[in-house]
């Protein structure tokens, strides 16, 4: 991952982080609710989930470094989009056609307006519980409000089933965890026939 980080910096952002202050980590910061990737300006760290293939990792690094370069915003607005499109042009110019196409596709996804309706919020809430099962309801709601620019009272008014969705997601996680434990016990038992 470190090699790809250096390659992305050198190839697409040669004037950024010349002193090597920024670092990359696969360990999610304490208190962060989801397994999504993150550009943390305060610690100057890009948090990247492990398990990506080379092309996916390159796209992800370009995405997160673009956030770091556009220092005044964490969103995917015009400045971030322009930075990404510059990287797409550069990728095409060095023969990385698939990467260029993937970057352009990524930008296009953010051009389409995000519809924050109940279906969307409830899915995000379920995903947050799956990603961070120990997070309590208030912490998940606080994250959703922050992430999507919703006031808490507006959230409570618009998404009245949120607490039920949260509890159902918690139960689903508990059931999956128990099923996984039973499966692992059976597998250990089957691989150890003498016990």
Q: What is the pLDDT of residues 38-53, one digit of tens each?
A: 778 788 888 887 778 8
Average pLDDT, the chain: 86
- What band does 92 get if pLDDT is binned at 50, 70 and 90? very high
Query: Torsion over CA of 35, 29, 51 and 127, rounded to 10 degrees?
Result: -10
Strands (E), the chain: 23-25, 38-40, 45-47
- Looking at the chain, the whole-number percentage of residues with pLDDT higher than 70 is 91
Mean pLDDT computed over 68-80: 76
More confident residue, 165 or 32: 165
Report whether pLDDT(74) > 80. no
Mean pLDDT along residues 79-104: 93
Is 87:81 a contact under the CB 8 Å cutoff? no
Contact present, 129 and 169 (Cβ < 8 Å): yes
Please give the pLDDT value at position 105: 92
Q: What is the pLDDT of residue 169?
A: 93
Non-local CB neighbours of 1 within 8 Å, separated by 6+ positions: 24, 26, 48, 50, 57
- 44-57 burial, b at 16+ Cβ within 10 Å, e below that, comes to ebbbbeeebeeeeb
Overall average pLDDT of the 32-43 stretch: 71
156-195 pLDDT, tens per residue?
Answer: 999 999 999 999 999 998 998 899 889 888 888 888 876 5
Q: How confident is the model at residue 33 (pLDDT cuts 50, 70, 90)?
A: low
Report yes or no on whether pTM surpasses 0.75.
no
Tell me: pLDDT of 1 over 70. yes
Higher-confidence residue of 113 and 109: namely: 109
pLDDT (mean) for 18-30:
83
Q: Dump pLDDT digits (tens) for 111-162.
A: 767 788 999 899 989 988 887 788 899 989 988 888 777 899 999 999 999 9
């Amino acid at each position: 991952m470190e090699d790809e980080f250096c390659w992305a910096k050198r190839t697409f952002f040669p004037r950024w982080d010349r002193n090597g202050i920024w670092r990359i980590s696969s360990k999610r910061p304490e208190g962060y609710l989801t397994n999504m990737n993150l550009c943390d300006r305060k610690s100057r760290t890009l948090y990247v989930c492990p398990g990506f293939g080379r092309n996916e990792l390159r796209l992800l690094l370009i995405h997160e470094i673009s956030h770091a370069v556009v220092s005044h915003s964490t969103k995917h607005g015009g400045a971030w989009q322009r930075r990404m499109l510059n990287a797409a042009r550069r990728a095409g110019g060095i023969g990385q056609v698939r990467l260029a196409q993937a970057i352009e596709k990524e930008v296009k996804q953010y051009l389409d307006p995000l519809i924050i309706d109940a279906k969307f919020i409830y899915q995000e809430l379920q995903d947050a519980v799956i990603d961070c099962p120990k997070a309590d309801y208030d912490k998940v709601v606080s994250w959703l409000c922050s992430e999507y620019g919703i006031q808490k009272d507006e959230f409570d008014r618009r998404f009245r089933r949120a607490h039920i969705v949260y509890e159902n997601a918690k139960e689903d996680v508990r059931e999956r965890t128990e099923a996984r434990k039973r499966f692992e016990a059976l597998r250990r038992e089957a691989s150890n026939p003498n016990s």
